[in-house]
Amino acid sequence: MRGTGKGVVAAVSRSASHTMSKPNRDSIRLLAGLGVEGDAHMGKTVKHRSRVARTPEAPNLRQVHLVHSELHDELRAAGFEVAAGQMGENVTTTDVDLLALPRGARLHLGESAAIEITGLRNPCSQLDGIHAGLMAATLGRDEKGEVVRKAGVMGIVLASGEVQPGDPIRVEFPDGATQPLAPV
């Protein structure tokens, strides 16, 4: 894998219950193969309620949810008041083009934590519970008319470690041909 790009952790969040919004924390601990310690979505198998109902033994490709702070800026400019963690993300980033990452890209956060990006978050109607129209605002269309999902990316934890606001993020791209992100 080749490394390039640097970003910063803007905020970290977790919630022990299945709530849309996650309170900001001073730090979170990522656990390899599991996710965010103390978060309702932590585990080797799916934890999102709708997915558990369908395929409870499926691997959890959504252990960590990341959103770029630039999306929050875009949404605020459109009249939506959103804050870090409010859209359910565990890690809010700055200066990392999360949506442009290929599947399998790795994010090294802080001193030791590492996340492998598995896919896009598919925005859900629960976002409208925060603000009417928020779900639609996290969707767009590209020049070909294809749907663009802007609500962040999902990943699995490869290496454990503490993560806190201000920690550096180093992006590592997979070697060879890459695959674009798709919803997971």
Domain ranges of the chain: 2-173
pLDDT higher for 50 or 54? 54
Average pLDDT for the chain: 94
State the Rg of the chain over Cα.
15
- Residue 56 — very low, low, confident or very high, per pLDDT cuts 50/70/90? confident
Q: What is the mean pLDDT of residues 50-66?
A: 91
- Residue 4 — very low, low, confident or very high, per pLDDT cuts 50/70/90? low
Q: How is domain 2-173 classified at the architecture level of CATH?
A: Beta Barrel (2.40)
Predicted TM-score of the model (pTM): 0.94
pLDDT tens, residue by residue, 15-35: 999 999 999 999 999 999 999
Q: What is the mean pLDDT of residues 69-88?
A: 97
CA–CA separation, 101 and 112 (whole Å) = 21
- DSSP states of the chain as a string? -EEEEEEEEEEEE--SS--SS--EES-EEEETTTEETT-TT-SSB--SHHHHHH-TTSB-S-SEEEEEHHHHHHHHHTT----TTTTS-SEEEES--GGGPBTT-EEEETTTEEEEEEEE----GGGGGTSTTHHHHTEEE-TTS-EEE-S-EEEEEEE-EEE-TT-EEEEEEPSSS--B--B-
Q: Which of 184, 14, 27, 36 is nearest to 85 (CA)?
A: 14
Residue 6, pLDDT score: 84
pLDDT at 3 over 70: no
| Length, in residues, of the chain | 184
Quickly count: other Cβ atoms within 10 Å of residue 77's Cβ: 8
| Span of 3-12, 63-72, 96-105, 114-123 with lowest mean pLDDT | 3-12
pLDDT at 178 over 80: yes
Residue 100, pLDDT score: 96
Q: Which of 156, 145, 120 is nearest to 44 (CA)?
A: 156
Residue 44, pLDDT score: 96
| CB-based contact 8:93 (threshold 8 Å) | yes
Q: Which amino acid is at 148?
A: V
Q: What is the mean pLDDT of residues 55-68?
A: 95
pLDDT tens, residue by residue, 140-171: 999 999 999 999 999 999 999 999 999 999 99
